[in-house]
Amino acid sequence: MAQIIGLPKLSPTMEEGVLLRWTKKEGDKVSPGDLIAEVETDKASMDFNIEDEGTLLKLLVKEGDTVKLGGPVLIIGKPGEDIAALVAQAGSGAAPEAPKAAAPAPSAQAPAAPVKPSAPPAPTAAAKAAEPARAAATPKAPAPAPSKGDGGPAPGKKLLASPLAKSLAVELGIDLRQIRGTGPGGRIVERDVRTAAEGGAAAAAPAPSEGNGRGAPAAHEVSDEDHTMTQAIAVRPRGTATEPGADFEDVPASNMRKRIAQRLTEAKRDVPHFYLQRSVDAGPLLAFRQKLNDLLGDRGKVSVNDLVVKAVAIALRRMPECNAAWVGDAIRRFHGVHVGVAVSIEDGLVTPVVRDADKKGIGQIAAEIRDLADRAKKRALKGHEISGSTFTVSNLGMFGIERFTAILNPPEAGILAVGAVMDVPVVDKGAVVPGKRMTVSMSCDHRVIDGALGARWLQVFTELVEKPESLAL
Amino acid sequence: MVRPVVTASQSTPDKRIEPDAPELVETTSAELGPLYRQMLAIRRMEEASAKAYSQGKIGGFLHLIIGQEAVCVGAIASLRPEDYVVATYREHGHAYAKGVSARAIMAELYGKKTGCVKGLGGSMHIFDKSKNFLGGYGIVGGHVPIAAGAAFASKYRNDGRVTLCFFGEGASTIGGFAEGLALAALWKLPVVLICENNQYSMGTPLYRSLAVEDVSLRALAHGMPRDRFDGDDVVKVKRRIAEAVERARTTGEPTLIEVVTYRFRGHSMSDPGLYRTKDEVEEWKRRDPLGRCRQRLLDVGMPEGELTSLEDDVRAEIEDAVKFAEESPAADEYLPYVVKE
Amino acid sequence: MAVISYREALNQAMREEMERDASVFIMGEEVGYYNGAYKVTQGLLQRFSERRVVDAPIAEMGFAGIGVGAAMVGLRPIIEFMTFNFSLVAIDQIVNNAAKIFQMSGGQYNVPIVFRGPGGPAVQVGSQHSQSLESYYAHVPGLKVVMPSTALDAKGLLKSAIRDDNPVVFIEGETLYNTTWDVPEAANGDGDLIPLGVADVKREGKDVTLIAWSKMVWTCLDAAKQLAAEGIECEVVDPRTLRPLDVATLAASVQKTGRCVVVEVGWPVAGFGAEVAYQMQKHCIDALDAPIERVTSDDVPMPYAKNLEDEVQPQPKDVVAAVKRVLYLE
């Protein structure tokens, strides 16, 4: 039986992806685990590995198309199967244009010559093979309106909004995905857009992560077909640079940028942050680093940050109360210590994860971080490499930043912002002498970490940094 | 109970009313020459259109009048130019007799811009306002009230015009004919209703269509004058129709006339004619009104040379019409002819 | 201005046009000595004589065809059908002849004729006398179809129809003959002419557009009044002429309100309202906030019993309900 394969979740926060490149084509046989496409998620470019066995009968999206999570991307099955119904079912998820290539090449037994007059009226295999293309080119039949309260949003569901609501949303700069429709089946209608424009909270949709099982209308879910429109709505409010005389220009946001914007807004708004700062003596750390690099020679290099990551990992192992997350009605303590390292890349940042950093040697951590950072800049990280961190380190020391505070990376309860090592006068045994100092700022989720707990953790961290040999133990 | 007068037996295959050699109607070559020329032109035009049809140059339906030429030619010869003619879908001959040129008719059959209705009508819808030819109609009997309407207008305006309406005996069973006949009689409209009884409504002989085969008897119920005769002799047709036309013009009284005739070809080009025997067709062809007219013309003194010259002239006219149709530009517009702005 | 009835308006229109143009005559059953089955031709025989007010026997196909033939050669007939239900026996003349002769003759013969009479359900006259046949005629190129809702429109549109050079199917509202309206007194004048193909906004409103013609305009005005009490402002637009349809005026209203209900007393399947709805979605798709609703009679032959007859036809409450649906107020 042929089936529709939806876009898999390739990153923890992914809600949609851009299909960058197909690595297989229609007619190819695939086995579970085969790479079939590359997908840009909010985080990175990801491999899309098929989990099914069969033949790719139809690719439903074009390279460059944006697809909602779970939205139909291909049809897999046996060669020659009639997939017209599935193509029609894929409906809103299918590429709007008629596909260039005819669907599966007719199999060898398909008659090439016209059907004999005596043949029964049943469609021939060749006729069937031609059907999907026709079906895809045919305007979609309207989907039945979902009954009210039928569970959570169906992934890839078409945005339900009246034409007036859509045009009004463009005019008023309203993102339809953020609106809950009050019309039949959750259709967004004019009044919903106007309410939203007036800042009415009633119309705001619940955050997608909370929608499950709450009977929230699916209206805010957007199919790829609607994507262009809602995207335009999201980034092009009234008065764009295309208007003559406008004194600004709107640079359309990438998927990643939009995701960063959304995630950080949510974090800063929803997580009760507080900040702890202290300055640590970085002299011993620098000396220790020098020793390590001397030992490594040309086999590698250790950075201050690598050592900081190791110190953070050990501190978390020692104080698991801070290796935790708020999950609504409990504090979840993670068993593994996985440190996320913020890496700046063009147009955004990613946080690749050093897994079990407490158990890894400094050299290994250094090598991993270098590899992850390199591949992050090439957008070549895999999904598992950017997910699952329990604490994050963000270091702007290389830019000469003395100190800064970071926004938490939910669900983590802590993030450490690391400044530059500065040459400062310090008082040592009553005398002012030159010293090396580094300021670290810890942002804490107060729901998980109270002030004293955070302070104790910073103390442990400081001791580790100031006695760096312990990092090698 | 009043029994209808039946003048032709249902079992007689030959529906002719008169004997084979009826009394000749007086005429001269001056009168007959032009009538013969028209009949011949119509015959040649129909033959040319049949040929073009077989070559795929004419499409749709094509109903030929070959064998019946004496009726339209004789009847219309009794009219004045300002009189109206309303006809059926078998109307090329009526149009030609009313003065529409062979060129305009042939170009119309070809679907050309130069056709009398610009390629919009085709074989069944020939119209020419300049000749007061009110058209060919494709719905059997539906045009009879229209003819009565034109006659109504003549009476309303008292303009002395007469309308001739042609239809087949097949139309005598439909409501349009019945109502048109009734109203023409009721209001004394100057119209002459001419039933061209060619024996078959498509493939059905009259005895299987009508309880009483004499169509002209319908006039009796309306107190309307009637006439009934064979249509072989064009001069006789002209004389007998002229009586009715004169009555209409002077008294406003309509007449129902049945002219018995025979079509040599099928109902249309696609008709194999399986409903009648070859012998029957051959028997009627033996009395072909065209050949009969030619002989009469020689009899009344037209020199053979003059006749041959007339026939050459006709051939040239039809050849020219075909050439004109062939070379004319294709029909090119239809939108301006939906409503009059 | 004078307040006159729809019936008087039609009578005035014919009288004035017959005074103005000697080629105009009226023909139909009981139009003369009986003064019209619905008294629309009251007094015309006395004024214009039997020559121009012609009582016809029961032969719709015959006298409709006589009208067509007379129109071809220059007269301007007004053919009255006692009711439009009877036009079905003359439909060959209307559809096969009147509508096509201008085209069939390559533009040589036009047919300036008016087929007029009452249409739509009256009161308890059963299924054969209660039909709305405008959709039949509006389907046919070559015809114009006019359906006035008020005395003012009836007069101005009938005068224009008589002067039109094409066949016009002019369907009067059988239950509207006694309705009254302010109509300017402009005997024989041109000031009261209303051009064919121009819609009229019968009531202004901002929330929803009701498109209706003939009797249903009144039903919509009733519904609009009820809805106004609830704070909903309906715009009632009357196309007046179904063919040609004034799409621009209708669309302008729907563009403004974003919601559209098409109300007709005819049957739902392939009713003219479906064409209106199609045109509105085509021209107003970006302005629509809800699917266009249609309110029609039930898909049944008209029953006789009064209560059933009312149930079958659109009532103001049905329009109100449809308006609430397009406003998502249900």
Mean pLDDT throughout C94-102? 98
> Do residues C175 and C215 touch, judged by C-beta distance below 8 A?
yes
Candidates 3.90.950.10, 3.40.50.920, 3.90.550.10, 3.30.70.260; correct CATH number of C200-326? 3.40.50.920
Do A159 and A198 lie in one domain? The reply is: yes
Residue range B303-336, pLDDT digits in tens? 999 999 999 999 999 999 999 999 999 999 999 9
**What is the value of ipTM here, to two decimals?**
0.94
CATH at A208: 4.10.320.10
Mean pLDDT throughout C158-173? 98
Do A88 and A178 lie in one domain? The reply is: no
Residue range B137-172, pLDDT digits in tens? 999 999 999 999 999 999 999 999 999 999 999 999
Do A89 and A184 lie in one domain? The reply is: no
Residues whose CB falls within 8 Å of the CB of residue A458, separated by 6 or more in sequence, listed in order: A276, A278, A440, A442
Q: Is residue A114 part of a domain?
A: no
Q: Is residue A265 part of a domain?
A: no
Share of chain C above pLDDT 90, in %: 95
Task: Point out the least confidently predicted range of A189-198, B292-301, C61-70, C211-220.
Answer: A189-198
pLDDT value at position C109? 98
Q: Is the pLDDT of residue B117 over 90?
A: yes
Task: Point out the least confidently predicted range of A112-121, A168-177, B75-84, C254-263.
Answer: A112-121
Q: Is the pLDDT of residue B8 over 70?
A: no
Select from A157, A154, A140 the least CA-distant residue to A223. Answer: A157
Tally of domains within chain A: 3
pLDDT value at position B9? 42
Of the residues C30, C129, C233, C283, which is catalytic?
A: C129
Mean pLDDT throughout C134-155? 97
pLDDT value at position B335? 93
Q: Is the pLDDT of residue C299 over 50?
A: yes
Cβ contact, residue pair C104, B149, below 8 Å: no
pLDDT value at position A198? 84
pLDDT value at position A53? 81
Of C280 and A49, the one with more pLDDT: C280
Of the residues A227, A335, A384, A446, which is catalytic?
A: A446
Amino acid at A209: S
Taking the C-alpha atoms of residue B222 and residue B191, their distance in angstroms, rounded to an integer, is 14
Q: How close, in Å, is residue C121 to chain B by CA atoms?
A: 28
CATH at A353: 3.30.559.10
Q: Is the pLDDT of residue A32 over 90?
A: no
A164 CB within 8 Å of a chain C CB: yes
Query: What residue ranges of chain C are covered by domains with CATH 3.40.50.970?
Result: 2-183
Do A74 and A181 lie in one domain? The reply is: no
Do A99 and A174 lie in one domain? The reply is: no
The DSSP annotation for C59-118 comes to -HHHHHHHHHHHHHTT-EEEEEPSSGGGGGGGHIIIIIIITTHHHHTTTS-----EEEEE
Task: Point out the least confidently predicted range of A121-135, C224-238, C290-304.
Answer: A121-135
**Whole-number average pLDDT of chain A:** 77
A417 CB within 8 Å of a chain C CB: no
What is the set of domains in chain B, with CATH numbers?
Answer: 29-329 (3.40.50.970)
Final residue of a domain: which of A241, A263, A285? A241
Question: Tokens 């529906």 — which residue?
Answer: B15
CATH superfamily of C2-183: Thiamin diphosphate (ThDP)-binding fold, Pyr/PP domains (3.40.50.970)
Do A282 and A417 lie in one domain? The reply is: yes
pLDDT value at position A184? 86
Of the residues C8, C29, C60, C264, which is catalytic?
A: C60
C102 CB within 8 Å of a chain B CB: yes
Residue range B215-272, pLDDT digits in tens? 999 999 999 999 999 999 999 999 999 999 999 999 999 999 999 999 998 888 888 8
Mean pLDDT throughout A204-230? 37
Query: What residue ranges of chain C are covered by domains with CATH 3.40.50.920?
Result: 200-326
Across-strand partners of A354?
A339
Name the neighbours of A, counting chains with at least 3 Cβ pairs within 8 A.
Answer: C
Taking the C-alpha atoms of residue A238 and residue B154, their distance in angstroms, rounded to an integer, is 71
pLDDT value at position A159? 81
A176 CB within 8 Å of a chain C CB: no
Q: Is the pLDDT of residue A92 over 80?
A: no
Taking the C-alpha atoms of residue C284 and residue C259, their distance in angstroms, rounded to an integer, is 10
Active site residue C129: yes
Do A406 and A449 lie in one domain? The reply is: yes
Of A162, A184, A191, which is closest to C288 when you measure between CB atoms? A162
Residue range A373-415, pLDDT digits in tens? 998 888 788 778 888 899 999 999 988 899 999 999 988 999 9
pLDDT value at position A243? 53
Backbone angles phi, psi at A95, to 5 degrees: -60, 135
Cβ contact, residue pair C59, B182, below 8 Å: yes
Do A333 and A438 lie in one domain? The reply is: yes
Taking the C-alpha atoms of residue A282 and residue A303, their distance in angstroms, rounded to an integer, is 13
Q: Is the pLDDT of residue A443 over 50?
A: yes
Do A40 and A80 lie in one domain? The reply is: yes
Mean pLDDT throughout A237-260? 67
Taking the C-alpha atoms of residue A392 and residue A416, their distance in angstroms, rounded to an integer, is 6
Q: Is the pLDDT of residue C270 over 80?
A: yes
| DSSP classification of residue C96 | I
Residue range A141-197, pLDDT digits in tens? 444 443 433 333 344 557 889 999 998 888 888 888 888 899 888 899 999 999 888
Select from B271, B268, B247, B270 the least CA-distant residue to B257. Answer: B247
Do A98 and A151 lie in one domain? The reply is: no
Taking the C-alpha atoms of residue C171 and residue C173, their distance in angstroms, rounded to an integer, is 7
pLDDT value at position C246? 97
Domain limits for position A208: 147-241
pLDDT band at A244 (very low <50, low <70, confident <90, very high): low
Select from C157, C119, C153, C118 the least CA-distant residue to C272. Answer: C119
pLDDT value at position A157? 59
C160 CB within 8 Å of a chain B CB: no
* CB burial string B159-175: b at 16+ within 10 A, e below: eebbbbbbbbbbbbebb
pLDDT value at position A430? 87
Mean pLDDT throughout A49-67? 86
Helix (H) or strand (E) holding C263: strand C260-263
Query: Chain C partners of B162 at a C-beta cutoff of 8 Å?
Result: none
Mean pLDDT throughout C21-48? 97
Do A177 and A126 lie in one domain? The reply is: no
Longest dimension (CA), chain B: 64
β-bridge pairing A35-40 and A45-49:
antiparallel
CATH at A76: 2.40.50.100
Select from B127, B100, B109 the least CA-distant residue to B49. Answer: B109
| DSSP SS3 for C94 | helix
Do A21 and A87 lie in one domain? The reply is: yes
Share of chain A above pLDDT 90, in %: 34
Taking the C-alpha atoms of residue A332 and residue A411, their distance in angstroms, rounded to an integer, is 10
